[in-house]
Amino acid sequence: MQVPVTKNQLPAVKSDTNDYYLDYTWLISGVLYHGGTDLLIPELMKRGNNEIYFYNVAGSAIGQRSVAGVAGSFDVEMFHVVVSADQADNTFDFIYRFCKLSEPNKGIINMSKLLRSTQFQLPESDTFNTDDIAD
């Protein structure tokens, strides 16, 4: 479906946003105080989740004593996983059990609904020319 745009605006025609936005995705985020995302990510990928990323942060567990101005640990990692609504509860439960988040000072996890996200689509193999890519 095409949505007309007022005169003097470019582009002249915009496609309908419902064609490329998804509104049934959830974001699972968490903090692991002692690392472990290097083991978690391959397990999630085996289950079909490919929208995963993580990064290291400096910090210490909530409630743990620390000296002001000094980071307690550099093994702290944050992760984010985007899943569809039908996989959200199962993936959340898997991460909770796999990372043993029921034990004290292991980490925290939360889940929130995304307003919208975009689809990831690779170009058709016939139209994509790999010879143009320089090393």
What is the rounded CA–CA span in Å between residue 81 and residue 88?
Answer: 10
Looking at the DSSP bridge assignments, the partners of residue 110 are 29
Has residue 107 been placed in a domain? yes
Mean model confidence pLDDT for the chain? 77
pTM score, whole prediction: 0.67
Has residue 14 been placed in a domain? no
Has residue 121 been placed in a domain? no
Has residue 110 been placed in a domain? yes
- Domain holding 70, by residue range, is 22-116
Condensed to tens digits (0 to 9), the pLDDT of residues 110-127 reads 999 988 777 766 666 665
- Going by pLDDT thresholds of 50, 70 and 90, the confidence category of residue 104 is confident
Residue type, 104: P
- Number of structural domains the chain divides into: 1
- What pLDDT sits at residue 49? 87
- Going by pLDDT thresholds of 50, 70 and 90, the confidence category of residue 133 is low
Has residue 91 been placed in a domain? yes
Condensed to tens digits (0 to 9), the pLDDT of residues 30-84 reads 999 888 888 999 999 999 888 898 988 876 666 665 656 565 556 788 999 999 8
Has residue 131 been placed in a domain? no
CATH number of the structural domain spanning residue 108: 3.30.70.120
What is the rounded CA–CA span in Å between residue 29 and residue 45?
Answer: 16
